[in-house]
Structure formats: C-alpha cells, structure tokens
C-alpha cells in the first residue's frame, strides 16, 4: 500500500533517494506537514473496509475518485443489516429542492414509519433465510 518511505521518496525525487539517512525520514515528514507540503503524501494509497446502506453506497460509487469492490450476494450470505433513520432525520421532502429534505422533523410519523419498515424487514429476512436454506 504505502508507507512513510513512499512519502519521503516522493519528496526527495528531485535530487535522488540515495542522499538521505534513515533517521531523516521522520524529520522530513514533520517538516512537510509543518509547512503544508502535502503533494508527497498523495503518493500513499489507503484501503478502507466500509459498511453502509445501499443508497449511500450507490452515491459513493457514483461520485467516487477511487477503486471499490463490493461484497457479493451471489457467492456469500448477506448479513441482515438494515438502516433506520434517527427521529431528527425523518423529514418531509423539501418543496424548493426536490433532492433534499426540509422543515421540522416529523416525529409523530417516525414511530409508525419505523414499525412499518420493521415489518417489511422481518418479512424480507424470513424470505431470504428460507431461500438460502433451500440452496
């Protein structure tokens, strides 16, 4: 993936990697951070294992700037995890912005909506377990 040496190598590329001592790596990285030289840090790759609702994953992939792999339901059993909005996040669709929500939270509808969603989740989980049990 990436290491401190990759950041150092990127920073020292203009005059050669062989001109440094091992003890200088830490000092160079601190210097780069202190003086806001961030380009050498872009040479490091990061890897994340993320769990998120499907609707979030679709937006992430749509606007991504990285490679991504997904857990396959074709080859593995899917863990039965479900998203439930917090009461404060349960709002009506905004009148002016059709892609957003607006107004005060609909707390009186939240409990009913959660109960209905739970009934659907329970049925979906039962059907999924029945289907994979007959594999």
* Across 31-56, average pLDDT: 83
Domain ranges within the chain, ordered by starting residue: 4-43, 73-133
Q: What is the DSSP letter of 86?
A: -
pLDDT confidence of residue 119: 96
Residue 92 φ/ψ, nearest 5 degrees? -75, 160
pLDDT confidence of residue 22: 59
In whole angstroms, what separates CA 1 from the centre of its chain?
Answer: 18
pLDDT confidence of residue 115: 92
pLDDT tens track for 59-88: 888 887 778 888 888 888 888 888 888 888
Residue whose C-alpha is closest to residue 41's, from 49, 50, 31, 51: 31
pLDDT confidence of residue 16: 60
């Amino acid at each position: 993936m990436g290491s401190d040496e990759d950041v150092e190598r990127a920073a020292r590329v203009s005059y050669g990697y062989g001109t440094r001592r091992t003890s200088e790596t830490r000092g160079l990285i601190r210097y780069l951070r202190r003086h806001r030289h961030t380009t050498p840090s872009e040479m490091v790759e990061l890897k994340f294992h993320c769990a998120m609702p499907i609707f979030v994953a679709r937006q992430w992939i749509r606007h991504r700037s990285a490679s991504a792999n997904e857990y396959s339901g074709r080859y593995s059993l899917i863990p039965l995890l479900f998203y439930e909005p917090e009461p404060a996040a349960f709002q009506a669709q905004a009148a002016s912005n059709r892609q957003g929500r607006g107004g005060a939270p609909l707390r009186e509808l939240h409990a009913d909506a959660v109960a209905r969603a739970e009934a659907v989740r329970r049925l979906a989980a039962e059907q999924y377990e029945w289907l994979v049990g007959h594999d």
